[in-house]
Structure 1
Amino acid sequence: MTLRLGIAAGIGLFLAMIALKNAGIVVANPATFVSLGDLSQPPAIYALLGFFVITALSYLRVTGAVMIGILGITVAAMVLGHNEYGGLMSMPPSIAPTFMAMDLMGALDVAMLSVIFAFLFVDLFDTSGTLIGVAHRGKLLDKDGKLPRIGRAMMADSTASMAGAALGTSTTTSYIESTAGIASGGRTGLTAVVVGVLFLISLFFAPLAGSIPAYATAGALLYVAVLMAGSLAHANWEDPTDAAPVLIAALAMPLTFSIAEGIALGFISYVAIKALSGRFSDLNPAVIILALLFAARFLFLG
């Protein structure tokens, strides 16, 4: 449960970092790594305004608060000349150049083993972390903090990843932005089916979807980050052997810009701290093995 809380909060902070970066509120700095951007620029102003509106509408229990905020900022930016209308419809591009364009024999080369393991590691634990974080926000975990039928969810995700590879698209996997849908009330499989159908239809409305700027969705992501970070309230801050791994997992995700790396550091710190504290009863073989695998990956694969 300790690591689940850290993962859920970490995903929220990761969302916040993505939102702040997309809006130009947080920018790179060679001296301090990150620093405050120019808040007088339109993207930053629109993102903050969208965040304020979405938060207020959610408090007032207005249905579709997230969508209202995103579309409202998009339209306002167009009216004020800060965003261009990309058009309404177009035919989807051909997938012929990338369809089944795979070098399977090349993937069987011994030199590719480390690459395959790295991709497996990232996809597996990105998905695991996303599922736990999203399920925690949707109150779908059982009384023991476990996600029922997670095997089916992982099977669906892995099938989608392989199908995406065959089609030549970027990785099709579970995305943390799904928490925005849960924040709007989507909690069932029917929600996923409806969204899937709408995604198919949106292939023909790509120019319209492309008209929505990143800063319009930044406010929504920042609001969802607030919801996700709430899991920190359930951590046992009186016990440093629990509190420390929660904080490490939560901070590592946004600072490394990777869910998988945050999970890895969370597991390693949890096992190391518990073992050094003599709290072996809090550990189980699966957690220890995972921590050792994560440590081996950092030490030998970089």
Structure 2
Amino acid sequence: LLITIGLVVKRVPAAVFVSMVITAVIGIICGAFGIDGMPALPESWAMNFDMSTVGAFTSGFGELFANPMNAIVIIFSFLFVDFFDTAGTLVAIGNEIGLVNSKGELEGAEQALLADSIGTVFGAVLGTSTVTSFVESTSGVGVGGRTGLTAVTAGVLFALSVFISPILLSAITNAVTAPALIIVGVMMAQQLKGIEWDNMIYAVSAFVTVIAMVLTYSISNGIAFGFIAYAVSMIAARKTKEVHITVWVLLVIFVLYFASPYFM
């Protein structure tokens, strides 16, 4: 982390990537001297491809027809989490690269959400973990990424990593990538300067959103709690006429979402 901070502050090109390489090398060396918990080179250089989950989604149709209500709740939960995780990510990154206008609207949001949705569906068909927008993209933005070519390049490299993962990437452990994510968090926190902290309605809503994200380890839960806090604050301030109908609809959905586990 100290290496990453030093390189980022000094504005070294590709500072986050360079720091991960340095950290991995240091970890491998320390591991060679017998220190536990360090990154290490793989014991086997063989590549094993597990395709057992391709098409596994079809087994869920039985549950859908056998218990449609339970299936609907599951589908809604995934939709809720994916949509608001994506929305939070897009807004954070959009602010970073200047794609959010003066009204707070994200330019090209429809295309971005469509691309994310297509990725989610095809990823599920192929049996992978969710293919969606990740806030780690902020690290790419931080080193100059501004166009779709950045995402295409990252996608190609991810495809190549399938073949080099057991050989090289096994040395890139959570301890190596954690500093990069902390820097991403710093970049995201810079957007908090745009909040009207003197206005208690916005201050409470923003703080609840941020702290809920941290404590629940979920961007979508943080956004949901933020919506609830905003609606309650507006009711207390007797400004309900200024609240858009969408907020009331989402308020009901969020309350039902959090309450549903206690009634199932």
| Fold conserved between structures, TM > 0.5 | yes
Runs of 4+ in 1 over 3 A off after TM superposition: 87-92
Aligned to 1:155, what secondary structure does the other structure show? Answer: helix
Aligned to 1:148: 107
The structural deviation recorded for 1:107 is 2.4
Aligned to 1:80, what secondary structure does the other structure show? Answer: helix
Q: Is the 8 A contact 2:92 2:191 kept in 1?
A: no
Residues 88-237 of structure 1 mapped to structure 2, 5 A cutoff: 90-91=46-47, 93-95=49-51, 97-101=52-56, 102-103=58-59, 104-108=61-65, 109-110=67-68, 111-207=70-166, 208-237=168-197
The structural deviation recorded for 1:89 is 6.0
| RMSD over aligned Cα atoms | 1.8
Q: Is the 8 A contact 2:209 2:226 kept in 1?
A: yes
> Structure 1 residue 248 and structure 2 residue 204: aligned?
no
Aligned to 2:35: none
Q: Which whole-Å CA distance do the structure 2 matches of 1:243 and 1:223 have between them?
A: 24
Q: Which whole-Å CA distance do the structure 1 matches of 2:240 and 2:106 have between them?
A: 25
Aligned to 1:30: none
How high is the TM-score relative to the length of structure 1? Answer: 0.78
Bigger Cα displacement from structure 2, 236-245 vs 281-290: 281-290
Aligned to 1:141, what secondary structure does the other structure show? Answer: coil
Q: Which whole-Å CA distance do the structure 2 matches of 1:60 and 1:185 have between them?
A: 15
Q: How many pairs are equivalent?
A: 251
Aligned to 1:62: 12
The structural deviation recorded for 1:296 is 2.0
Aligned to 1:20: none
Aligned to 2:42: 86
Runs of 5+ unmatched residues, structure 2:
32-37
Aligned to 1:125, what secondary structure does the other structure show? Answer: helix
How high is the sequence identity, in percent, across the aligned residues? Answer: 35
Runs of 5+ unmatched residues, structure 1:
1-50
> Structure 1 residue 264 and structure 2 residue 224: aligned?
yes
Q: Is the 8 A contact 1:274 1:283 kept in 2?
A: yes
